[in-house]
Chains A and B, each alone.
Chain A
Amino acid sequence: MFDLLRYRDLVLALVQRELKVRYRRSAIGFLWTMLQPLLMMLVFQVVFSHLFRFPIPDYPVYALAGILFWNFFSQSIVASMNSLRGNAQLLQKLPVPRAVFPVATVISGVVNLVFALVPMILILLVTQHTLHLSLLFLPVSILLATAFTLGAGLLLSPLAVFFSDVVELVGVLLTLLMYMTPLFYPIAALHGWAHRIVRFNPVRSILEVFRDPIYYGKIPPLSHLSVSLGIALLALAVGAFAFRRSSDRIPFYV
């Protein structure tokens, strides 16, 4: 895994290629990255502030921050599971460090997330008429989210190679996890066991570190920040460890 440093140019090239492929495929290219979350936001706006009515001021901002986070998290995980299988040919012919593929996938997810922040800032200007200084904290939030997501990707991508149905299973689990994360509803709307489940969902912690500076215009409290940092680092450590252990077996199964 430490070879990654030596192969950093390769990682960058793979990121570039992934972005190119993504943006070449559709007609309006990379505008799509910005447009898709906005459309999702509109859907949530209609469904949740008219049909279900959560008492959240500036609901579009709340929902959009959640959508951006969730897109990054879930798309990166699915893509990193496919990254090893997609490069089967390479993995059987060249001694590349296998981790370059999931790592490059998650990094290109970060780039997409950063692009998608542009329309979000416009929405902020429209709804709140000002930009809080707390936005400057976002790089730290994104770093935490990246460590957490990379950990999950490193853990799951070899599993997807060994067991072909892991991809389907994770798809279902991600949907479940999405409802367990307060993306489009406020956690205060829940009571009893549902509240407890969502409260102890680690993804919620990471989400809030991302959303607080955007929606509430404040840096998350230190207590919450340290818990989230712990979760992110733990996820990364577990993922890296699992990947290292199974890495040598990957070329036999792809």
Chain B
Amino acid sequence: MPEPPRIALTGVSLCYRLAKQRIPSIKEYAIHWMKGALSYEQLWALTDISFSAHAGEIVGIVGRNGAGKSTLLKVISQVLKPTAGRADVRGRLAPILELGTGFDHELTGLENIYLNALLLGHSRKAVDAKLDEIVDFSGLGDFVRSPIRNYSSGMLARLGFSVATAWFPDILILDEVLAVGDASFTKKCTDRMNRFHDGGTTVLMVSHNAAAIRETCTRCIWLDAGRMLFDGSPAEVLAHYASDHGTEPVERRVGHLEGPVQQ
């Protein structure tokens, strides 16, 4: 009996209905409603996506800006509920849609480690037990005692990654956050991810870096305008992508702390 998939999406569609045309006041809402003209501009960010991913798979997601990559990760992270279809996710989730979400710049590094881990659903006790390891991994030393408003973006990224990956996840979700800090820290991150992979973590990552996808992923999904165009080996998918776009996915930014493009 094979293990059930960690992630199983069946016919997932997601529509940003009001995000596009927000009715700002109750008065307008009432007027529209009375006229029976509550029409919304609909934006289907995802249309009928089905796939499953098992333990140990590293799935890369490629596609142009606005193709629905980040939205897909949000659905799998249980941040957004699909408009139609089902998104079943089994196991402990480590969603890193953005490093350091919820950091409070007035608090110290240590306080932010707690806040961040609690936001990820861990208990205070669990953080107590992992604290030294998190501080150690971040390599921030005594800086953890000072407010993070003094941190550089690289330091913030280190702190964010150290907290988010401190617990072994069944499913790791990464939205273009791999290019973290300097070379030595990147090496540490890669080592940690490899360890997760060896332990059977399912990884989902959005990347615009073809080389990274070819090296790390066992599988690749190509999204375009909210539809899944291809699901196969990285080499295969990248080749199709290249023949369609005239180029492989390329890195388009230097900075790495900014979040994914809002759709």
Residues of A within 8 A of B (CB): 6-7, 9-10, 12-13, 17, 21, 87, 89-96, 163-166, 169, 248, 251-253
B16 at the interface (CB under 8 A from A): yes
In the complex, the answer to whether B80 meets A94 with C-beta atoms within 8 Å is no
Task: Determine which of B24, B74, B78, B119 lies in contact with A165 in the assembled complex, contact meaning CB atoms within 8 Å.
Answer: B24
| Bound form: Cα–Cα A253–B23 in Å | 10
Q: Which of B25, B93, B101, B118 contacts A93 (CB 8 A)?
A: B101
Residue of A9, A10, A169 touching B26 (CB-CB under 8 A): A169
> Looking at the complex, which one of B18, B29, B93, B98 makes contact with A95 (CB distance below 8 Å)?
B93
Chain A minimum-CB-distance residue to B102 = A90
Distance A166 CA – B24 CA, assembled complex (angstroms)? 10
Segment from B120-128, B189-197, B210-218, B226-234 that makes contact with A: B120-128
Consensus secondary structure, chain B interface: loop
A131 to chain B, nearest CB (A): 37
Whole-angstrom CA separation of A169 from B24 in the bound complex? 13
Beta-carbon contacts of B10-22 to A below 8 Å, as 1s and 0s? 0000001111001
Alpha-carbon separation in the docked complex, A13 to B113 (Å): 12
B119 lies within 8 A of A10 (CB): yes
Q: Name the A residues within 8 Å of B80 (CB-CB).
A: 251-252
- Cβ–Cβ contact B123 & A95, under 8 A: no
Known: A94-B79, A95-B78. A9 touches B118 (CB 8 A): yes
Query: Can you spell out 9 A-B residue pairs with CB atoms less than 8 angstroms apart?
Result: A6-B121, A7-B121, A9-B124, A92-B74, A94-B79, A95-B79, A163-B23, A163-B26, A169-B26
Residues 221-263 (chain B) with a chain A CB within 8 angstroms: 259
Q: Does B49 contact A (CB under 8 A)?
A: no
Determine whether the beta carbon of A248 is less than 8 Å from that of B81: yes
Question: What chain B residues lie within 8 Å of A165 (beta carbons)?
Answer: 24-27
Is B26 within 8 A of A96, CB to CB?
A: no
Cβ-defined contact, B97 with A93, below 8 A: yes
Chain B residues within 8 Å of A251, by CB: 74, 79-80
Q: How far is the CA of A251 from the CA of B93 in the complex (A)?
A: 19
Q: Which residue of A lies closest to B98 (CB)?
A: A93
**Distance in angstroms between the alpha carbons of A169 and B29 in the assembled complex:** 15
Which residues of the partner chain B approach A92 to less than 8 Å between Cβ atoms?
A: 74, 79
What's the Cα separation between A199 and B4 when bound, in Å?
Answer: 60
- Residues of B near any A CB (own CB < 8 A): 16-19, 22-27, 29, 74, 77-81, 93, 95, 97-98, 101-102, 104, 106-107, 114-115, 118-125, 259
Q: Which 7 A-B pairs have the closest CB atoms?
A: A10-B118, A95-B78, A93-B101, A9-B124, A248-B81, A93-B97, A165-B25
Contact partners of B259 in chain A: CB under 8 A:
93
| Contact, CB under 8 Å: A95 / B95 | yes
- State A21–B17 Cα separation when bound (angstroms): 36
Instruction: Knowing A90-B102, A252-B18, say if A163 contacts B124 (CB, 8 Å).
Output: no
Q: Is the CB of A94 within 8 A of B25?
A: no
The answer, among A13, A21, A89, A253, for a CB contact under 8 Å with B118, is A13
A205→B118 CA distance, assembly (Å)? 38
Chain B residues whose C-beta falls within 8 Å of the C-beta of A94 in the assembled complex: 77, 79, 95, 97, 101-102, 119-120
CB distance from B176 to the nearest CB of A (A): 13
- Asked whether, in the complex, the Cβ of B25 is within 8 Å of the Cβ of A13, the reply is no
- A173 CB, nearest partner CB in chain B, Å: 12
B79 near A163: Cβ-Cβ < 8 Å: no
Provide the bound-state CA to CA distance between A89 and B260, in Å.
12
CB-CB under 8 A from B125, the residues of chain A are 9
The interface residues of chain B lying within 8 Å CB-to-CB of A6 are 121
Q: How many angstroms from the CA of A163 to the CA of B29 in the assembled complex?
A: 9
- Smallest CB separation, B25 vs chain A (Å): 5
Give the complex CA separation of A252 and B78 in angstroms: 13
In the bound assembly, the distance between CA atoms of A96 and B78 in angstroms comes to 9
Q: A9-B123, A13-B115 are in contact. List 15 more A-B contacts (CB 8 A).
A: A9-B125, A17-B104, A89-B101, A89-B102, A92-B79, A93-B79, A94-B95, A94-B102, A95-B77, A163-B29, A165-B24, A252-B17, A252-B18, A253-B18, A253-B19
Give the residues in chain A near B98, CB-CB below 8 Å: 93
Q: Which of A90, A163, A164, A253 contacts B119 (CB 8 A)?
A: A90
Whose C-beta in chain B lies nearest to the C-beta of A164?
B24
Query: Do A164 and B79 touch (CB < 8 A)?
Result: no
Which residue from chain B places its CB closest to the CB of A91 in the assembled complex?
B79
**Shortest distance from the beta carbon of B247 to any chain A beta carbon, whole Å:** 30
Least CB distance, A21 to chain B, in whole angstroms: 8
Q: Report how far A163 CA is from B25 CA in the complex, Å.
A: 6
